[in-house]
Amino acid sequence: MAIVTTEKLTKEYQQGSYVVHALRGIDLTIDNGEFTALMGPSGSGKTTLLNLIGGLDAPTSGKVIVAGKDLGALGGSGRSKMRLHQLGFVFQAYNLIPVLNAYENAEFVLLMRGVPAAERRERVMKVLKEVGLEGLERRRPHELSGGQQQRVAVARAIVGEPSLVLADEPTANLDTKTGYALLDTMLELNERRGITFVFATHDPKVMAKAKRVVSLVDGKINGDNSK
């Protein structure tokens, strides 16, 4: 069953007197449970595509359907609600809240949802253990390594049990060993929990772990390989 479908998706940006065609008619289907990488060089459109799937930006034309819902028909508040309840995000820059510790950063989504305190604690502690951060719950971001910070970001992304996690260059700021360890953690979550992961990346490590690689060049799909 498809969790993401895009139909004739285009995105254009005005850059001075020039029009940048970031996406040029993307038709893509991603099924539940996939572990897929969108790969391509800088400017290929992979991050733009990821942002449109996540409802962080709106297409110039075409459709994005996530979990059976047309994002264009939801409106701004509807897309915000979907991001809160059905999607998880992992960003290259971690995007952790500096004044909150690892536990509080991971808990933030559940607080926004109004989940009761006892349930929040149970779910956050379980997820932090799953991503290898047991014992580091009270450390703030500046007290954690880059790899540990990204694990907090993964914990935050999955604690709400989303249908889909979108990860934009999650290994870009990590050394090789730490990058592979993080990918192994996400792959295990994919296989054990059935969470769908979609990456935007040009990192060979991600492509090596991905079960499907969709390559983009100049805003178009020019390859789609499943392993």
The Cα 166–Cα 160 span in angstroms is 14
Number of domains in the chain: 1
Percent of the chain topping pLDDT 90: 74
What is the per-residue pLDDT for 93? 82
The pLDDT of residue 227 is above 80: no
Mean pLDDT across the stretch 145-170? 92
Kindly report, residue by residue over 80-114, the tens digit of the pLDDT. 998 988 999 998 888 899 999 999 999 999 999 99
For the chain, the straight-line distance linking the first and the last C-alpha, in angstroms and rounded, comes to 19
pLDDT tier at 42 (50, 70, 90 boundaries)?
confident
Q: What is the mean pLDDT of residues 4-15?
A: 95
pLDDT class of 174 with cuts at 50, 70, 90: confident
Percent residues over pLDDT 70 in the chain: 100
CA distances from 197 to 63, 101, 192 (A): 20, 25, 13
Phi, psi of 180 (to 5 degrees): -65, -40
Asked if the model's pLDDT at residue 45 lies above 80, the reply is: yes
What is the average pLDDT score of the chain?
A: 93
Tens digit of pLDDT for each residue in 57-79? 999 999 999 999 999 998 888 88
Give strand pairing partners of 66.
4, 69
Taking the C-alpha atoms of residue 214 and residue 133, their distance in angstroms, rounded to an integer, is 32
Structure tokens at 123: 């779910």
CATH number at residue 18: 3.40.50.300
| Residue type at 199 in one-letter notation | F
User: Residue 146: which domain range?
Assistant: 2-226
Question: How much is the pLDDT for 2?
Answer: 94
Position 7 scores a pLDDT of: 97
Question: What's the pLDDT score for residue 1?
Answer: 87
HSE-CB of 133 using CA atoms within 13 angstroms:
33
